[in-house]
Structure 1
Amino acid sequence: MRTIDDRYELRTMLGQGSMGQVWHAWDGELKRSIAIKLIRPDQLIGPQSQSLTVDEIVARFRREAELGARFTHPNIPVLLDAQFRGSPKDYYMVWELVLGRDLGQLLQSERRLPTEQALSVARQTAEVLHRLHADPVIHRDLKPANIMVTDDGRVKVLDLGVAAVFGADHPRLTRAGQLLGTVAYMAPEQFGGTIVPQTDLYALGCLLYEMLAGEPPFTGDAATVMAGHHHRSPLPLSDLRPELEADIAALVMDLLAKDADHRPVSARTVLDRLAPHCKPITAAAAQGSSPPRDADGSSPVTSALVVSAPAQSTPALSVEIRMGQALALYDAGRFGHALPLYADLAAELTAAGADRAAEAGDCRAKAAYCHLRLGNRQQALADYQSLADAFSKEDPADAFVLDVRCRLGILQEAAGQSEAALETLANLYPLLVAQLGRNAEQSTEVRTALNRLRSAPRS
């Protein structure tokens, strides 16, 4: 029997995916059962799954460990240890051992789940998404095999190995054209390489539909399923489960909207819509689990379904200190945490009058960008339009005004406002070239968008 580092004794393989193996193991020092994840040996030699190179597999393995250490949540397994010394064949992660069945096994034996159980699984999964998306981290591969259900009904969301992480501290690991995810649960935009928080909500809709209907929204070969995600509507849940309450059926269909902007705006919204149909979680039911916390000990996200102690009032920090805090979160890509700070600062600085108008505008712009990165494109569009209007009399070549108008035009195009986008970007492009040069990133982005708009058929 293989032993790792003279401490962890591998006993039984619990499963394996495209990149890793998970083993039931024994911790000889602390005398407890654990789960150990290793990189699959066959992935370190010869052809790799999904065209991933060894370096990419190693990078994703490390990323999963980093995220495991970053998030503390009752519905995410606890990372206990990790080792990245030496050769990749020696790398491992030590996780809390979760006993139960994954959702795929549960559905295979039960086919359909009772409504109460299906909603409980959905709610607990949405709790995890609410926590992840606040940074934002996009899971990107929600599927039955990654949802573990314990005998007492608790859910653990597994496998952050292909998660998309935003922020300057987290390099992009997905190459252009590389498709990551599981086709039966992938949102339409995911096939084109676009990932937003609502991408995970679509997958949650697929899971909830399958739990209630007994099969995923679309079945068949990969091409048929892909076409279904893009062009077809699934059979109405009201036909398959007539006893289902209308607002639950409506929530599932909203989650399965083809356009990400037409889905619920956030996992928080999903939780609010599920709340009337789910039993509240008490401290006892959570078995003493603490609210989700960041690596720095803060607790930015608390579900309405969790009983929380009332907040203690604290003296207000100065504007300068709060701006520094917001900027640190913003630069780290933690947009869900930066957004409320910038929203409060923008309101406070606007009220302070003309002397702080420039700072207020910067905070408004950063809040709008947070909305954009969090997938709230309609709100971002409205915010950038408001900013463009407010600063319309400023120097059009000012760097701040250029950036606002650039983001406004790109969002107008994405929202299907072709005429407005063409006007915004056509007036903007000469100024960008004059100020930044034709090869600057913004100039290139606007030029590409203008060429798309001019070549698109007119209605």
Structure 2
Amino acid sequence: MQTILQDRFELRTLLGRGSMGLVWQAWDLQLKRAVAIKIINPERLAGGVDDMKPQDIQARFVREAEVGARLHHAGIPTLYDALLSGSPKDLYMVWELVLGDTLHHKLDRHSGRLPLAEALNVTAQLADILAYVHEIPIVHRDLKPSNILITEDWQVRLLDFGVAARFGADHPRLTRAGELMGTVAYMAPELFQEHVKAAPQGDLYSLGCMTYEMLTGQLPFTGDAVAMMYGHRNAEPAAIHDLCPDLPSPVANLIMRMLAKNIADRPESARSIADELFAYRAAPAQPIETTAPGTPTAGAAAPSQPLNIRLIHALVLFDDGNYGQARPLYLQLSAELEQPDAQQPDEAADCRAKAAYCAMRLGNITQALTEYEALATHLQQREAPAGDLLLDVRLNLGLLQEQTDQLQAAVETLSDIYKRLGASKGSNAPETAEARAALNRLLMKASSAAKESNTGSHVDV
């Protein structure tokens, strides 16, 4: 028997996994749009994480939805809808889907640290978001790189209000004695004490820890949880100016004030931090994926470079999942390779296919569908056989047709290539399995439609 969630939404890609919740990229079957669905992690409900009771887990989930419903800021995804009553395993929240990389992944790709302009840009935007949140009044309590999303154009989104709390007013307590709320590496020293009420200054300390990490490539305190707790409470981090000599002194002083042990010694508010940083922030150049001298920016390879080098550059970005940077390169390369004097139609078609795939992964569904349709037509009209490339193009075309509710077209496209995929790549290949799963979904929808019509005749899907 299908749940309410399955009746309304089609879960497609797991975006994030935490101890409390799972976040899926999904398709709203009723409103025909991509969304992010958050559900309670089944391991929690099965008792596989800790001894929290299902009703306590459900209460926190409801609290997160109630907090999310109050937040209306460009730097926070919008909560569209939620199911908050019934069995905990059936509850869900429907959030705006924002595509990008977490700050955690950005740091990984930049060898642990960001260039000065990007780091200050991220911190300034986060401080602006926190200034709004603290005015509600809500504290986040779990600021860390994995809860920060950065879009292709370096716009920041603050995620996961699962342990957020109100301050300055009475509210039900959802924490247990001795339970730490947050992530030890980024927690303010006062939060390691029992009976401490949530306050905005704890978020300011966590923001200071992240800024310190973005600029230096290391946390203020390292080691196991006990060592980090001791450091937060009793030790002083290395002066950031010693690790980043080019950091403007006023900014270095601001960051060290954010890391002050005493709440009274920290900046007055998130708004004051934002105001100071916006004064020093340099608008980020094109997103940087490498900082080696003479290396072209990720957005566009230097035209003076040989063609084969630019093709490799685009492929490196593509294989690393940097679709926003790879797409303009592939569009540029495909246009160049299609010129009469280039005589490289196979390379040109491959670049077009990769550009369309980038658009699809970036969420530009209509653009990707248009490009795949044009490329499929082009490949079918060529005298030379297109082989596996045409199969891949038509597979993605069929998946996009399904996603945009062109169900009959999707069935025709996928049915046409399914046997060919099996013959070319094997019945267990990922591409063949993906086509098979899509066809099963489509045929089940057709069967359901036929039963509802109660005619027994053929029903277009």
**TM-score in terms of structure 2 length:** 0.58
Deviation at 1:280, TM superposition (A): 8.4
Are positions 1:208 and 2:196 aligned together? no
How far apart in 2 are the matches of 1:53 and 1:226? Answer: 27
How far apart in 1 are the matches of 2:169 and 2:250? 40
- Superposed displacement of residue 175, structure 1: 2.4
List aligned pairs for 1:112-261, cutoff 5 A.
112-166=113-167, 170-193=171-194, 194=196, 195-261=198-264
Higher RCO by CA contacts (8 Å cutoff, separation 6 or greater): 1
Percent identity, please: 54
Following the alignment from structure 2 to structure 1, what is the Cα–Cα distance between the partners of residues 53 and 48? 8
* Aligned partners of 1:2 and 1:9 also within 8 Å: no
Partner residue, 1:439: none
Equivalents in 2 of 1:53, 1:167: separation in Å? 28
Counterpart code for 2:224: D
Say whether the 8 Å CA contact 1:23–1:36 is kept in structure 2: yes
1:101 aligns with 2:101: yes
The whole-number CA distance in structure 2 between the counterparts of 1:170 and 1:227 is 31
CA drift at 1:85: 3.0
Q: Secondary structure at the match of 2:25?
A: strand
Q: CA deviation at 1:278?
A: 2.5
- In the aligned structure 2, how far is the partner of 1:252 from the partner of 1:75? 22
Which whole-Å deviations, capped at 9, do the CAs of 1:337-388 have from their partners, x for residues lacking one? xxxxxxxxxxxxxxxxxxxxxxxxxxxxxxxxxxxxxxxxxxxxxxxxxxxx
Q: Deviations over 1:39-61 (max 9, x none)?
A: 01121122443x43222211111
Q: For the residues of structure 2 that align with 1:146 and 1:47, how far apart are their CA atoms?
A: 23
Is 2:117–2:282's contact at 8 Å kept on the other side of the alignment? no
> What's the secondary structure of 2:7's corresponding residue?
coil
Q: Which residue of structure 1 lines up, in the alignment, with residue 315 of structure 2?
A: none
Q: State how far apart, in whole Å, the 2-side matches of 1:40 and 1:175 are.
A: 20
Verify the 8 A CA contact 1:84 1:92 in the aligned structure 2: yes
Gaps of 5+ in 2: 285-461
Aligned partner of 2:30 in structure 1 is: 29
Residue in structure 2 matched with residue 61 of structure 1 by the alignment = 61
Question: In structure 2, which of residues 259, 268, 273 is the aligned counterpart of residue 270 of structure 1?
Answer: 273
Match of 1:427 in 2: none
1:84 CA drift (Å): 1.8
Task: Name the amino acid aligned to 2:98.
Answer: V
Separation in structure 1 between the aligned mates of residue 236 and residue 70 of structure 2, nearest angstrom: 38
Listed as ranges, the matches of 1:315-394 within 5 Å are: none
User: In 1, are the aligned partners of 2:167 and 2:199 still within 8 Å (CA)?
Assistant: no
Asked if the contact 2:139–2:164 (Cα under 8 Å) also holds between the matched residues in 1, the reply is yes
Offset of residue 4 of structure 1: 2.1
Superposition map of 1:409-448 within 5 A: none
Q: Deviations over 1:287-346 (max 9, x none)?
A: xxxxxxxxxxxxxxxxxxxxxxxxxxxxxxxxxxxxxxxxxxxxxxxxxxxxxxxxxxxx
Letter in structure 2 aligned against 1:254: R
CA distance in 2 between counterparts of 1:7 and 1:106 reads 34
Q: What's the RMSD between the two structures over aligned residues? A: 1.9
Task: Confirm or deny: 8 A CA contact 1:140 1:163 kept in the other structure.
Answer: yes
Residue 167 of structure 1 deviates from its aligned partner by: 5.6
Distance in 2, Cα, partners of 1:7 & 1:182: 34
Q: 1:43 aligns to what? A: 44
Counterpart in the other structure of 1:336: none
Supply the distance in 1 between the matched residues of 2:185 and 2:146 (Cα, whole angstroms): 12
Distance change in 2, residues 1:3/1:107 (3 Å): farther
User: Contact between 2:120 and 2:277, CA under 8 Å: does it hold in 1?
Assistant: yes
Aligned partner of residue 136 in structure 2, secondary structure: coil
Runs of 5+ consecutive residues of structure 1 not aligned to the other structure: 282-459
Q: Does structure 1 conserve the Cα–Cα contact (< 8 Å) formed by 2:221 and 2:228?
A: yes
The alpha-carbon deviation at position 135 of structure 1 amounts to 2.7
CA distance in 2, matches of 1:47, 1:154: 36
Which amino acid counterpart does residue 33 of structure 2 have in structure 1?
A: R
One-letter amino acid of the structure 2 residue matched with residue 179 of structure 1: L
Q: Report the alpha carbon displacement of residue 30 of structure 1 after superposing the two structures with TM.
A: 1.8
Q: Distance in 2 between matches of 1:271 and 1:196?
A: 18
Q: Is contact 1:48–1:54 with CA below 8 Å preserved after alignment?
A: no
Residue 192 of structure 1 and its aligned partner are, at CA, apart by: 0.6
Letter in 1 for 2:250: D
Deviation, 1:95, is 0.5
Q: Judge which range, 138-147 or 268-277, deviates more.
A: 268-277
1:77 aligns with 2:77: yes
TM-fit CA distance, 1:227: 0.9
Provide closer, same or farther for how the CA distance between residues 108 and 280 of structure 1 changes in structure 2, counting only shifts above 3 A. closer
Q: Distance in 1 between the 2:100 and 2:259 partners?
A: 28
- AA of the residue aligned to 1:150: T
Match in the other structure for 2:290: none
Contact 2:204 2:258 in 1 (8 A): yes
Counterpart for residue 15 of structure 2: 14
Q: CA contact under 8 A between 1:119 and 1:278: conserved in structure 2? A: yes
* SS at 1:141 equivalent: coil
The alignment's TM-score, normalised by the length of structure 1, stands at 0.59
Q: Deviations over 1:56-88 (max 9, x none)?
A: 211111111111110100100110110123211
Partner of 1:369: none
Task: Give distance in 2, aligned partners of 1:196 and 1:210.
Answer: 23
Q: Does the 8 A contact of 2:73 with 2:129 survive in 1?
A: yes
**What is the CA–CA distance in structure 1 between the aligned matches of 2:261 and 2:170, rounded to whole Å?**
32
Shift of 1:169: 6.4
SS of 1:12 mapped into structure 2: strand
Distance 1:75 1:137 in 2: 15
